[in-house]
Amino acid sequence: MATRRPSGTFPVPVPRTFGQRFRAFWHRPDDFLIDAGKAGELVIARIRLAVTLILLLIPLGNLATAPLAERETHLTGLLVTVFAVGIAVLVYLLVARDRRQAWLPLATSVLDVTLISTALLIFGFRVDPLQSVNSLVTFDTYFLAIAATCLRYDRRVALLAGMTAVLQYAIIVGIVAATLGPDSGDTTRYGQFGWSDQISRMINLSLATAIAVYIVRAMQRQRELSTSDSLTGVFNRRFFDDYFANELERASRYRTPFAVAMIDVDHFKQFNDTYGHAVGDRALRAVARALQRAIRRSDLVARYGGEEFIAVFRETGAAQAFERVEGIRQAIETEPLPVARASGPARVTVSAGVASWPEDGLTAEELIGRADARMFEAKNAGRNRVIGPPKS
């Protein structure tokens, strides 16, 4: 069976069977991909709001210049556009406040294609049914909405938004075909109804959806490669710095505690000199595996530099974090490393320091500095131990 890694670990086992691939596809992305998509979600929210505000100028201008007999039609357009602006404002506020809502990317993606479908229906009922199915401008915005799903780093969102667009447009085509027939409407201005044309449009939407899903997977894989440490498979220092800044902002906003642990392999230079760098690399990977097994999906572990690792435990107090890091220390101490010598397996130990937000500091420099200082306390006290905040 395919398994999912906790947040902050690489690589993931490759699904082999169709069932494994299907389950892997529908799994929620790891938190680091959700974090990557949050910036794109905010960009889309801003664009959506700007576009609806610009579109609001059209019915306002029409109301100001149209004859009295035509104002009812333009008033309907104004009300619809005002409604769209209201939704855009609401979504923007939700995204700006907390862009990690699990349901928000799918909801906003479906919203975008639904607004396009609504516009086509309005054209059909208020102007001419054939404009709903032969639109050369409004229909093409479906492709923009599907392309925008790539910024959310979630294949499920790209697929479901595209399927929604295909289904909604098929309903529109069915309504036009069933109620008006192929010979109805202003064929000289809006063209004729043809099933082949409409099927081609739905096929094009399906192809755009498939391409979006493929692009999202490629973007996910590229981000995994660019943010992971090539030796150990955990996140690298560069990604950690960005993640930690976001976590501090989130904790400050919601007043939720979290803990950070600095973990360093004891006597690593001496270990390398004794067993060689190949076994040293194996030891670092073993430490990384122990960290991976201990953290939750919401936590993160990164290689901070050399033989030093750092872990972040979200919504975790100092005492609980200390216990978890102590468990990691014990697991590393007892894990043997096979070496090509008759002396038996090699072993490594680690020293660690734990700091918690907000008790030990409010900034990244303060927290990491405090965890680092406690890690050195552990080394000075004899190594192979964990030191956390003093118990109150």
Q: What is the pLDDT of the chain when averaged over all its residues?
A: 84
Q: Where are the domains of the chain?
A: 18-227, 237-387
Q: Are 293 and 244 in contact (CB under 8 A)?
A: no
Closest CA to 229 of 4, 7, 8: 8
| Catalytic-residue membership of 41 | no
Q: How far apart are CA 194 and CA 130, in angstroms?
A: 10
Q: pLDDT tens digits for 195-211?
A: 899 999 999 999 999 99
What CATH number was assigned to the domain covering residues 237-387?
Answer: 3.30.70.270
Catalytic residue among 41, 247, 249, 307: 307
Burial of 224-263, coded b for 16+ CB within 10 Å and e otherwise, reads: beebbbeebbbbbeebbeebbeebbebbeeeeebbbbbbb
DSSP per residue, 109-122: HHHHHHHHHHHHHH
- Model pLDDT, residue 63: 76
Q: pLDDT tens digits for 87-128?
A: 889 888 888 876 556 788 888 899 899 988 988 888 777 777
* pTM for this model (two decimals): 0.67
